[in-house]
Amino acid sequence: MTAEHTLRADALRLAYDRREVVKGLTVTIPPGKVTMVVGPNACGKSTLLRGLARLLAPVSGGVFLDDRDVHDIPNRELATVLGILPQTPVAPEGITVADLVGRGRYPHQGWFRRWTAADDAAVAEALAATNTLEVADRPVAELSGGQRQRVWIAMALAQRTDLLLLDEPTTHLDITHQVEVLDLLTDLNRAHGTTIAVVLHDLNLACRYADHLIALRGGEVVAQGGPTEVVTADVVERVFGLRSRIVPDPVSGTPMVVPIGRHHCPEGETP
Ligand SMILES: Nc1ncnc2c1ncn2[C@@H]1O[C@H](COP(=O)(O)OP(=O)(O)O)[C@@H](O)[C@H]1O
Ligand SMILES: [Mg+2]
């Protein structure tokens, strides 16, 4: 099992130039659990994740890992505890899959960057878990969007951090691969106790896979808690401006959002 670490944001404000995007958020990523961050486009989900991973400096408030300000933690130390897969990662030109995944091991190597058997094992396991072994020798640039996405996930897995933040890891994936990735993250959480926080667009999959949900709108938290507490028709309307019916997911029993558009009307209601 991994050591448990608690990551939290306290009255966190993040801005680009002077435009504030995250407006005083206080959230805790519960240790050993899977957290999903949901909310409409441009509400600040990626910005929050970047702030949590120390890729953006707060305007005010702070981010704390086990009560230490993340800005006081040396880079290498932070990178062995916390990994992040950004929304649109950029691969170095010409790099192969195996080399890219191998970069996930950098924080674990000493000053001399000596590659060890443990590094080989971590890379091989990450490639196998993400079903990317067969493309290990190919240049990343030649892969399909879905394959590339799985390679990035492999790199994040190879880092073997106790805390893993992933920004829309299922983008570009077909439904089968989306479920596979979420199953894989759940396996990781169950087998190693890895704390996982994911930005996800699909509310219904988020409800299925999350222990904890954080719903954002306009850089503020609208609701947080278990999926059943958070995902109500009222919250969906407040967060997404969407009328919906909430029914139990027939497979998992978790809340399932059925949208009501302008062209359909639930039985017994007038549009
Ligand atoms: N690098 C950046 N520079 C300036 N503005 C940005 C940058 N990244 C995001 N933004 C703006 O911040 C807001 C929130 O963006 P983001 O956190 O990416 O939203 P989400 O991930 O919820 O879609 C958006 O209005 C977006 O245009
Ligand atoms: Mg985003």
The protein residue with its alpha carbon nearest to ligand 1, atom 23, reads 42
The whole-number pLDDT of residue 235 equals: 98
The whole-number pLDDT of residue 4 equals: 83
The protein residue with its alpha carbon nearest to ligand 1, atom 19, reads 42
Written as one letter, the residue type at 262 is: R
The model's confidence at residue 146, banded by pLDDT at 50, 70 and 90, is confident
Alpha-carbon span 28 to 10, nearest angstrom: 8
Average confidence (pLDDT) over 62-66: 97
Alpha-carbon span 24 to 26, nearest angstrom: 7
The model's confidence at residue 269, banded by pLDDT at 50, 70 and 90, is confident
The model's confidence at residue 112, banded by pLDDT at 50, 70 and 90, is low
Alpha-carbon span 183 to 55, nearest angstrom: 28
Average confidence (pLDDT) over 238-259: 97
The whole-number pLDDT of residue 271 equals: 65
Ligand 1 centroid to Cα of residue 47, in Å, is 6
**In the structure, which protein residues have their CB atom closer than 6 angstroms to any atom of ligand 1?**
16, 21, 39, 41-47
Alpha-carbon span 221 to 216, nearest angstrom: 5
Average confidence (pLDDT) over 208-213: 98
Ligand 1 centroid to Cα of residue 215, in Å, is 16
Domain formed by 7-230, architecture: 3-Layer(aba) Sandwich (3.40)
